[in-house]
Chains A and B, each alone.
Chain A
Amino acid sequence: MATDSATRAIKTDENRDAAGRREIYLYALRRFGVYLFTLWAAITVAFFIFRLVPGDPMNILLGNLTRAEGRQRDKAAEEAIIAQYRQIFGMDDPLPIQYLNYLRKAVLGGLDLGPSFVEYPAQTKDLVFRRMPWTIGIFTTSVLLAWIAGTGLGALIGWLQRSRLSRLAVVLSTLLQITPVYLVALALIIYVGYSWRLLPAGGPYARHLQPAWTWEFISSLLTHAILPMLSNIIVIGAGFTLGMRALMISVLGEDYLTFARAKGLSPFTVLKDYAFRNALIPQVTALAIIVGATLNGTFIIEVLFQLPGLGTLFVQAMGLRDFNTMQAVVLFSIFAVLTLTLIVDLALPLLDPRVRRTA
């Protein structure tokens, strides 16, 4: 009888591989659908939020221009200019039409998000693309480094639960985690950059250099990147450390850990195959969540370190009420965050056999 039930269960296994594969495809497809929907929702919300802000950007813009040039305001001429601008920017159409036009251009027009108000006729797309490498470079590198460091450190102090060193590490990480990233950045700028003069603390590279594939330029680029990235790594890494520690401790209480020890496996194998591996899965999910939550920190860091990234672009655009540019920055950030999250989520089934079922 025992054999019967066992063989019956095993018979289904021929189909199991195929079924498992189909489930993964379905999961990926569903996940991609969610991604597209979220992207659309984000674009829509961004569009309407910027349109519904009270005040006509054209008025503000023109007011700024005329004030800057110190000219007398000529009502009639001004109105004519505004009318022309409004036409160029398609702002006379009713809002729903504007929205559809906007979507059409964004999707079919190769990410055409309209021209910049301020740097007309420069396309906001080009402004964003020019700045994006800085942001993406600093952001992804520092988040990844923070994740790797935090995961390793957290696993270690979770494993050594009760040692004094690990308690100290917990207190330290907790303090760092609740510190706002700009305070850490300011502290690094003030102490490391100015007081001790150890590392450059402003600008993308030394002023006298021009971008080129020379060692001098690249090393200058890298040394200038250390402090901005370090600010991010310290704060985000502390969070990852605490998260991984908590995950390790909860995994250490699982029955399969007791069983692994009962089997006589070496502590290293238990740590590697039974504790770390299992804690890693939710830690990867945490990476996906953190990715979204830390981009704004990177924007602040860019401003503080005077790096020509999206954050600085946004702040400049905000000062000039350049709504088109602000909107483009927001959209690209959302796009980047959602795409990174999608990648992480799609990687998850590779790690966790259970996701295939439950997803």
Chain B
Amino acid sequence: MPALLEIRGLSAGLQGRRAITQVISQIDLDVQAGEILGVVGESGCGKSTLATAIMRLLVPPQVLQSGSIRLRLAAGETVDLLAISESELRALRWRHLSYIPQGSMNSLNPVLRVGRQMMDTLIQHGLTSGEARARAIEALELVNLERKLLDSYPHELSGGMRQRVIIAAAVSMRPALIVADELTTALDVVTQRQILQELAAIRDELGATILLITHDMGVVAQIADRVAVMYAGKIAELGSVHGIFEAPRHPYSQGLIGSIPRASGQRVEGLPGEAPSPWNYPAGCRFHPRCPKVFDLCREHAPELMRQDSGRWAACHLYDDEVAAHA
């Protein structure tokens, strides 16, 4: 079965005075229908840039450099989100792809009532205001909120409720794909767990596909099916959550998973050093200054994301057969 979303060669950067600084480089990623795909990585590795590029919501100085993003529509045809016109894209938004931005706390307009903000989109997409209201209420119920909230202003809601409202808004048109960026970051642990459960329930009920962006391996472990580990604007490793947690291949994934506190309490060795910013991505493998297994080739040649066994992909010379043969 072809993927619901097919990202190919996606690069985006920041327009400087003279040149563009690349933030995400040549991202290839397939999102399968019905799955929750986690994208995980340290702060600043380009997760939000990836999400906004997919949504085509980059704002200057952010610029799209190359790539295609094919979304499969219900009818079986596909569109390239980066190639269609603004108004064609507008028609797809919310119906086919929804967005839960990072910092959802501030994503509601403080001077409009919640109901108005949930319904204006539905009305724009052709629903009558009665239908829109019914849809909005239905969506609120999916996240365990009461219909009364429609008459509230955002500042009257708690952070968790606001986050739920955003989720409800995003699922109100029953989109095929939801891109959710740092859904639970600003919330307390209990609310976090509740919201993740609600999200999983939404996936089951609506059959939605979710691209879940987070820096929290725990969140990925809790609800994702597959995970893409990102480092310095590239995908380091991709595979099933189970597979990667059991046996991470890429030294970065190994470090990330090693730094999760275990049940036994002792911390396994964390990652030394800091993640590079886009202005000083290292040459060769971008992870090489921090990699415990670095060897000569790593400093000169960037590894490609290569297919391993059983749906696992990794970008590391250690798993590059040709290199291994030479070594």
Please give the residue numbers on chain A whose beta carbons come within 8 Å of chain B beta carbons, in ascending order. 1-3, 5-7, 9-10, 13, 16, 162, 254-256, 258-266, 269, 273-274, 277-278, 281, 351-354, 357
A264 x B110 contact (CB < 8 A): no
Kindly name the residue among A10, A256, A274 whose own CB sees the greatest number of chain B CB atoms within 10 A.
A256
Given contacts A258-B101, A263-B94, A273-B112, contact A10 B166 (CB under 8 A): no
Q: What is the minimal beta-carbon distance from B319 to any residue of chain A, in angstroms?
A: 37
Task: Compute how far the CA of A278 lies from the CA of B112 in the bound complex, rounded to whole angstroms.
Answer: 9
A262 x B152 contact (CB < 8 A): no
Given contacts A262-B99, A278-B110, A351-B111, contact A13 B93 (CB under 8 A): no
Residue of A nearest to B149 (CB): A10
The residues of B that contact A263 with a CB separation of less than 8 Å are 93-94, 120-121, 124, 169
B109 x A264 contact (CB < 8 A): no
B294 on interface, CB distance cutoff 8 Å: no
Q: Which of B132-173 contact A (CB under 8 A)?
A: 143-146, 148-149, 152-153, 155-158, 160-161, 164, 166, 169
Task: Compute how far the CA of A265 lies from the CA of B91 in the bound complex, rounded to whole angstroms.
Answer: 9
A277 x B107 contact (CB < 8 A): no
B318 on interface, CB distance cutoff 8 Å: no
Given contacts A259-B101, A354-B110, contact A265 B146 (CB under 8 A): no
Given contacts A13-B148, A273-B120, contact A256 B108 (CB under 8 A): yes
The residues of A that contact B94 with a CB separation of less than 8 Å are 263-264
Q: Which of B93-140 contact A (CB under 8 A)?
A: 93-95, 98-99, 101, 103-104, 106-112, 120-121, 124-125
A5 x B110 contact (CB < 8 A): no
Residue of B nearest to A357 (CB): B155
Kindly name the residue among B109, B110, B143, B155 whose own CB sees the greatest number of chain A CB atoms within 10 A.
B109
The residues of A that contact B93 with a CB separation of less than 8 Å are 262-264
Kindly name the residue among A16, A254, A263, A269 whose own CB sees the greatest number of chain B CB atoms within 10 A.
A263
A3 x B144 contact (CB < 8 A): yes
A5 x B160 contact (CB < 8 A): yes
The residues of A that contact B92 with a CB separation of less than 8 Å are 264
Kindly name the residue among B155, B164, B197 whose own CB sees the greatest number of chain A CB atoms within 10 A.
B155
Contact count band on B = 35 or more
Task: Compute how far the CA of A3 lies from the CA of B145 in the bound complex, rounded to whole angstroms.
Answer: 7
A274 x B109 contact (CB < 8 A): yes
A6 x B110 contact (CB < 8 A): no
Task: Compute how far the CA of A16 lies from the CA of B143 in the bound complex, rounded to whole angstroms.
Answer: 23
A256 x B148 contact (CB < 8 A): no
A-B residue pairs in contact (CB < 8 Å), sample of 8: A1-B194, A2-B144, A10-B149, A259-B101, A263-B93, A264-B90, A264-B92, A266-B90
A256 x B109 contact (CB < 8 A): yes
Task: Compute how far the CA of A353 lies from the CA of B117 in the bound complex, rounded to whole angstroms.
Answer: 15
Given contacts A256-B109, A259-B99, A264-B90, contact A6 B146 (CB under 8 A): yes
Task: Compute how far the CA of A3 lies from the CA of B161 in the bound complex, rounded to whole angstroms.
Answer: 11
Task: Compute how far the CA of A162 lies from the CA of B95 in the bound complex, rounded to whole angstroms.
Answer: 31
Task: Compute how far the CA of A261 lies from the CA of B94 in the bound complex, rounded to whole angstroms.
Answer: 10
A353 x B110 contact (CB < 8 A): yes
Q: What is the minimal beta-carbon distance from B198 to any residue of chain A, in angstroms?
A: 7
Kindly name the residue among B91, B103, B166 whose own CB sees the greatest number of chain A CB atoms within 10 A.
B103
Residue of B nearest to A20 (CB): B156
A10 x B146 contact (CB < 8 A): yes
The residues of B that contact A259 with a CB separation of less than 8 Å are 99, 101, 104, 107-108, 166
The residues of A that contact B198 with a CB separation of less than 8 Å are 2
Given contacts A6-B161, A13-B152, A264-B91, contact A258 B124 (CB under 8 A): no
A9 x B155 contact (CB < 8 A): no
Interface string of B194-227 (1 = CB under 8 A from A): 1101100000000000000000000000000000
A261 x B57 contact (CB < 8 A): yes
B109 x A2 contact (CB < 8 A): no
A255 x B107 contact (CB < 8 A): yes
Q: Which 4 A-B pairs have the closest CB atoms?
A: A264-B93, A259-B107, A255-B106, A262-B99
Given contacts A258-B57, A262-B99, contact A10 B111 (CB under 8 A): no
B291 on interface, CB distance cutoff 8 Å: no
B155 x A265 contact (CB < 8 A): no
